[in-house]
Amino acid sequence: MFPTVMCGGSGTRLWPLSRSQFPKQFLPLVNDTSMLQDTMARLPAGHQAPVFICNEDHRFLVAEQVKQVNCGQATILLEPQGRNTAPAVALAAINALESNSDALLLVLAADHVIKDTDKFHQAVVVATAAAQKGKLVTFGIVPTKPETGYGYIKQGVEATEDGAGSGVFEVATFVEKPDTDTAEGYLASGDYLWNSGMFLFKASRYLEELEKFRPDILQACQQAMAKVEKDLDFTRPDSEAFMQCADESIDYAVMEKTDQAVVIPLDAGWSDVGSYSALWEVCEQDSKKNVIKGDVIAHDTSNSYIHSQNKLIATLGVDNLVVIDTPDAVLIANKDKVQNVKEIVNELKAQQRPEAKLHREVYRPWGKYDSVDSGERFQVKRITVNPGAKLSVQMHHHRAEHWIIVSGTAKITLDEKTFLLSENQSTYIPIGVVHALENPGKLPLEMIEVQSGSYLGEDDIVRFEDKYGRS
């Protein structure tokens, strides 16, 4: 079994915690580990090294989070551009078949919550038996309310084994997101399940069905994988070939057309955490049904989700609110309206504001930086460089920089000169000087960078050499 974890998605309904450059799957929203790491932690025993499918922007986030949980020799497949789930799974299937002709793909999303891991594993065992017989298995979530935000699957006839029920049902039909009245009817009938977007099937069977119904997608993916390139921790399908691929979900491309689709009901505390109201439901609540994260004092407050990253939040006499504080943005919303948070994100994008994409604290393959302060001709950053990491060899046309070492050791190159600095020491990098920064120690390097000049944008970087393959 090859776990295949889809790491795409921007999580816009969870802004400002989730941003396009650091979306919800990489955040510790439910516990102390990220949702991606939680997905890895609940994988069934005995699986092969997982395959992670992500885009260029998130590649170092995936690599770092996989490394933190010691996930072995994982494969990180980089989509040249998002083309939905049918092509993404095709890339993973082609990749798996190169090492095992009987490979099973367990296709999961990186941003789901499943509270009852044992029930999930039991469902995977049932699904494995069906997949070995050539079935394309999807997991349908037993609904708990008339949800209008999910697609549904209508169960058909249950397969039997030796006269007993197998727990595997034919798929009668897939249905789109319903209105409230229709969803209530689905719930009352007991015949409908939420479409989770999780699957298990033989890699070869998926490709056979894809060739039957969407040969154009299969051909584009085969051509992309035929010219694959290895780059550090990443596997890069050929961009030109993949860009010819249609944008289509696995449901539309295969599952709604094949006669081999089956569904297994799953009642395991599943959520796709698609909004703050969903996050409120899956997190631990206090006696007044509040979810409290961070530095919060809540008086006469109920049914609320309150999350502070940066400062004290005090609430008094409120009910059914979402209050989110981050270093650069605050959200206050009625919990019944949080599905519309994406409209705020759309407005931020329209205004080209950085809060739609980035947090104030920005992660890089070498570490991170926090933009502490800025003005018309200056900017101050707190920079953390991981042990053994090195920033690119670079220069700037429009800004000079001062570096002050707070802790750790810095190996610094200015033109042809290389030297070491330690705590309370500093250096100055004039405009136009080629420079590099490296942490040669075993502890993180902490430093303050003060930039000054006529233009301070991140695109004022001319890279001459970069160990992470950035242009």
Express each pLDDT in 106-157 by its tens digit: 999 999 999 999 999 999 999 999 999 999 999 999 999 999 989 999 999 9
Q: What angle do CA 52, 56, 59 make, to 5 degrees?
A: 50
pLDDT at 411: 98
Structure tokens at 159: 């397969």
Condensed to tens digits (0 to 9), the pLDDT of residues 439-469 reads 999 999 999 999 999 999 888 999 999 888 8
Pair 160, 256 in one domain: yes
Pair 415, 436 in one domain: yes
pLDDT at 458: 86
* Beta-ladder partners of 393: 465
Place of tokens 């006529």: 454
The domain that holds 137 is classified in CATH as: 3.90.550.10
Please list, in sequence order, all residues whose beta carbon lies within 8 angstroms of the beta carbon of residue 235, skipping any fewer than 6 positions away: 75, 76, 77, 78, 95, 228, 229
Please list, in sequence order, all residues whose beta carbon lies within 8 angstroms of the beta carbon of residue 189, skipping any fewer than 6 positions away: none
Note whether 423 and 403 are within 8 A (CB).
no
- The answer to the question of residue 221 being in a domain is yes
- The answer to the question of residue 313 being in a domain is yes
The domain that holds 388 is classified in CATH as: 2.60.120.10
Element holding 446 (H helix, E strand)? strand 445-453
* Beta-ladder partners of 385: 367, 445
Condensed to tens digits (0 to 9), the pLDDT of residues 20-69 reads 999 999 999 999 999 999 999 999 999 999 999 999 899 999 998 998 88
- The answer to the question of residue 72 being in a domain is yes
| Number of C-beta neighbours around residue 253 at 10 A | 24
- The answer to the question of residue 279 being in a domain is no
Structural domain including 288 reads 284-348
Pair 316, 341 in one domain: yes
Note whether 106 and 197 are within 8 A (CB).
no
Pair 19, 101 in one domain: yes
- The answer to the question of residue 186 being in a domain is yes
- The CA distance from 446 to 437, in Å, is 12
Q: What is the pTM of this model?
A: 0.91
pLDDT at 468: 85
Element holding 331 (H helix, E strand)? strand 329-334
- The answer to the question of residue 39 being in a domain is yes
* Ramachandran assignment for 237, one of left (phi > 0), alpha (psi -120 to 50 degrees), beta (any other): beta
- The answer to the question of residue 356 being in a domain is no
Pair 46, 10 in one domain: yes
- From 348, 370, 389, give the residue that closes a domain: 348
Pair 343, 365 in one domain: no
Q: Which amino acid is at 251?
A: D
Inter-CA distances, 46 with 39, 49, 121, 179, Å: 15, 10, 12, 42
Residue 469 half-sphere exposure toward CB, CA atoms < 13 A: 12
- The answer to the question of residue 251 being in a domain is yes
- The number of domains in the chain is 3
| Number of C-beta neighbours around residue 100 at 10 A | 12
Q: Radius of gyration of the chain from Cα atoms?
A: 25
* Beta-ladder partners of 334: 321
- From 325, 348, 371, give the residue that closes a domain: 348
> What sign does the CA torsion over 284, 290, 293, 298 have?
negative
| Number of C-beta neighbours around residue 110 at 10 A | 26
pLDDT at 164: 62
Pair 368, 237 in one domain: no
Pair 384, 438 in one domain: yes
